[in-house]
Amino acid sequence: MATQRIAENGLGKAGTSKRAANASTAHAERRNGTTAVRENILDAALRLFARQGFSGTTSSALAREAGIAEATMFRHFRSKDEILLALLRKVKGSLLYRVECSLAPFAEGSGLDRVLTAVGVYYELASSPLPEFSVLFRDVLTRRQGNGIEEAARLEVRDAYDALSSLLEKALDAGKLDGSIRADVPGRESAGMLLGAVVGMARAVHFGFVDKASRMENILREFCLSALASRALERTGPESSSTARML
């Protein structure tokens, strides 16, 4: 009898474990399904927001682009503003990763070389059809509705801007230490000015005010050389900078 009870208890425990495993699997499948739907919505938002702006994209158009019902979309996100905020957080990481990978091969160069490379990389990304940059810098910073989501979205964009500016500031500081950049150049302010110039020019290209085929990138980099290069570099000539030789 005791042996039978032990066997039955064993079977019961095995059955309970099996049910728990099945429930865990079902939960994981539902979670994965939810994640897949959310990612699909964010991918659709990236395409539409980059192409026609946040304000120019209706909720119905976004659901249609994602291939789902509008009601389904709002089961995953409470509003279009919430979709924007989630998208900004996602593309900010993606954009910064691209920039860091592009700059990594030049990490051992002089500070001036790193600044010139960063300006070139930023401009290329900003003026290309890269949707991440368009979403971050196209129209979010011009929207001022005053609600919590709006402010959170602006903070995400500010965080991306600060991260890009910080990379420039570090290169400027390195240049002042290695002698390739003038010692009196203010790092933070110069980094902000350079990034602002790149973003402004890229927006002009984006809206068709300026032809992308123009020499704007080279002009900006030539300006960097004349404004930042140390007196020693000026005496030896700009060709002593490896990045300058590519201009």
The residue-averaged pLDDT of 143-171 equals: 81
Structure tokens that stand for 48 in this block: 């539409």
> Cα–Cα distance between 182 and 235 in angstroms, integer?
13
Query: Nearest-5° angle of CA 53, CA 100, CA 204?
Result: 35
pLDDT, tens digit, 9 for 90 and up, residues 38-59? 999 999 999 998 888 888 899 9
Closest among 194, 171, 63, 18 to 123, alpha carbons compared: 194
- Is this model's pTM higher than 0.75 or not? no
Total Cβ atoms within 10 A of residue 27: 10
pLDDT, tens digit, 9 for 90 and up, residues 99-153? 899 899 988 899 999 999 998 888 887 777 678 777 777 666 555 555 566 778 8
